[in-house]
Amino acid sequence: MPAATREEQALAEIAATAIRPTAAWTLCASFLVLVAVGSWIELARWRAGGATVFSGSPEMPALQELAATWQTRGTLAANEELRAALLALEDRMGRESALSARLRPHAQLALLRLLRYGNSQVIAGKPPHLYFRTAFDHLVGPPFLRPDALQRRRHAIGPGIRFEPDPVPGLASLGEELGRRGIQLVFFPVPVKAAIHPEPLLLFGSTSKEPLQSPSLPELIRRLRAAGVRTYDPAPEMRARAVAGDSLYFPTDTHWNPRGMEVAARGLARFLQTEGLLPELPPAGLEKHPLPYAFRGDLTTLLGLGPLADRIPQEATDLTEVTWLGRAPIATWSGNADLLLLGDSYSVFPIDVGAPAARFGDRLAFELDRPVRRIAKVATNDLPDRVSWLRDEPALLDGIRVVIYEVTARAFSSTDWSAESLEPD
């Protein structure tokens, strides 16, 4: 007799589940009370002239509209129109209803504290550690270079839309174009937090000294190097520091902390020097200073706690501000730089500190003791976008010998790597 499938097992378990009458009546009564209270609140908002979940888009179709659809396009079309409207209403009730807005933060905080449960965007580890679900899925999901995964992502965007999930052809093309201009491309993938600090997610800790990684990452690095794209992977060194006891990422934020920046910048500077990619320059005369900084982690914000977000402590740290000798301010954009950092939020974090030079590009400038030019934008990982930056602002490449392409590793599972030309159309 063949073994039962998981679905058959689940159905059998549901059929064998018994519920006491008292519990059944309690659950039903609680559900009806919530529906009644929520409806009463929405009715009160409507009478007061305010927006309600019933006035959102798409609106519920009128009976005349459904009848017209049924007569012209058939029963299935009318049913699909009604179904889409009901699903949209259900979604709005979950996100926008007054009752949901009042109850959700309290329920989310209780789930976080009692059950270590986050939401669709955040995974909760041992308090206070939070992880971005997309980054975690990149590590544990299908290898991003597996042929079936590549094919599925090529077709997921839609017909007629160009999307290339394989990073190698596009990066190799960019490297060749830069090479013809006498510029070397260096690829610099930043590991996600769970790759370096997996322990808060595990029940029994981790004894591995190696970083967690997608099985496709070694293949990607090998193929890039074979295509002439020099690649520096900071994950092994960062994991070694984490095993030694260093904290390299903020517990409630997706980004690295000042110590993580330091380890990555120092390793990248050593790589550039070992590869002989930059000529010797006279000392720039840079120095560093602590800069107190406190902020709310982006993962705390993604939990949707509203006013209850204050129940989770803010991150507090000393950033590393880089200045000229005598604390004269520096600018990461520098006209005489021969190194360009092309990056994402890891290159511009922290975003809201204002003038002080305390970001990754500044730390890299300190480790190299030379100016660094930088252009970076938050949540912009698509290769065509980055090439367009260089194409639209040709001065970015003036005097440049090395372009460092920094990107978060989770982009390997979601980003468009279509080849683009630096030459204007």
3-state secondary structure 32-88: HHHHHHHHHHHHHHHHCCCCCHHHCCCCCCCHHHHHHHHHHHCHHHHHHHHHHHHHH
Give the amino acid at 160. Answer: G
Q: What is the pLDDT of residue 328?
A: 76
User: Rounded to whole angstroms, how far apart are CA atoms 358 and 289?
Assistant: 9
Instruction: Give the Cα separation of 123 and 141 in Å (integer).
Output: 15
Decide if 323 contacts 332 (C-beta within 8 A).
Answer: no
Mean predicted lDDT score pLDDT of the chain:
88
Strands of the sheet with 184-190, listed across from one edge:
230-231, 184-190, 402-408, 339-343, 373-376
What pLDDT is attached to residue 95?
Answer: 66
Give me the mean pLDDT over the 173-181 stretch: 97
Average confidence (pLDDT) over 161-172:
94
Q: Is the pLDDT of residue 1 over 70?
A: no
Q: What is the DSSP letter of 422?
A: S
Q: 256 with 190: CB under 8 angstroms?
A: yes
More confident residue, 375 or 351: 375
Pairing of strands 315-324, 339-343: unpaired
Kindly report the pTM of this predicted structure. 0.83
Residue 2 contacts by C-beta under 8 Å, 6 or more apart in sequence? none
pLDDT of 4 reads 60
Q: Can you list the positions of beta strands (E) in 359-401?
A: 373-376
Strand partners, 187: 231, 405
Of 238, 240, 230, nearest in space to 264 by CA: 238
Instruction: Look up residue 16 and give its two tokens.
Output: 């064998």
Which tokens is 125 given? 């580890």
pLDDT above 70 covers what percent of the chain?
91
Greatest CA separation for the chain: 83
Q: Which residues contact 343 (CB under 8 A, 6 or more apart)?
A: 360, 361, 374, 375, 376, 404, 405, 406, 407
- For residue 400, pLDDT beyond 80: yes
At 382, is the pLDDT very low, low, confident or very high (cuts 50, 70, 90)? very high
pLDDT tens digits, 143-159: 999 999 999 998 887 77
Enumerate residues 6+ apart whose C-beta is below 8 A from 285.
Answer: 324, 325, 369
Between residues 39 and 319, the one the model is more confident about: 319
Closest CA to 415 of 377, 388, 380: 380
**Predicted local confidence at residue 206, as pLDDT:** 66
pLDDT of residue 110: 93
Amino acid 8: pLDDT: 67
Sign of the torsion formed by the C-alpha atoms of 321, 324, 325 and 326: negative
Q: What's the pLDDT score for residue 172? A: 98
Residue 391 pLDDT: 96
- Comparison of pLDDT for 382 and 48, the residue scoring more: 382
Please report the pLDDT score of residue 301 as a whole number: 95
Average pLDDT over residues 214-237: 97
Give the relative orientation of helices 167-180 and 217-226 as an angle to the nearest 10 degrees: 30
The residue ranking higher by pLDDT, 425 or 189, is 189
Residues 20-74: pLDDT tens digits?
889 888 888 887 887 777 777 767 776 777 776 666 666 778 888 888 888 888 8
Q: What is the CA radius of gyration of the chain?
A: 26
Distances in whole angstroms, Cα of residue 14 to Cα of each of 3, 4, 24: 18, 15, 15
Model confidence pLDDT, tens digit, residues 69-115: 888 888 888 888 888 887 877 777 666 677 777 888 998 999 999 99
The SS3 of residue 151 is helix
- pLDDT of residue 324 exceeding 90, the answer is no
Confidence grade of residue 2 (pLDDT, cut at 50, 70, 90): low
Distance, CA of 291 to chain centre: 26
Q: Which residue has the tokens 């017209």?
A: 68
pLDDT in the model for residue 257:
97
Q: How confident is the model at residue 314 (pLDDT cuts 50, 70, 90)?
A: very high
pLDDT higher than 70, residue 332: no
What integer pLDDT is reported at residue 57 of this predicted model?
Answer: 64
Size of the chain, expressed as the number of residues it contains: 425
How far is C-alpha 74 from the geometric centre of its chain's CA atoms? 43
∠ CA 394-231-335, nearest 5°, is 30
Q: CA 119, CA 108: separation in Å to the nearest integer? A: 8
Distances (CA, A) of 30 to 37, 109, 382: 11, 21, 47
pLDDT at 231: 98
Q: Torsion angle of alpha carbons 265, 266, 270, 273, nearest 10°?
A: 60
| Rounded distance between C-alpha atoms, residue 178 and residue 421, angstroms | 10
Q: What is the pLDDT of residue 187?
A: 98
pLDDT at 140 over 80: yes
Do residues 297 and 250 make contact, with C-beta atoms less than 8 angstroms apart? yes
Residue 192: which of 138, 122, 252 has the closest Cα?
138
Chain centre distance of CA 104:
23
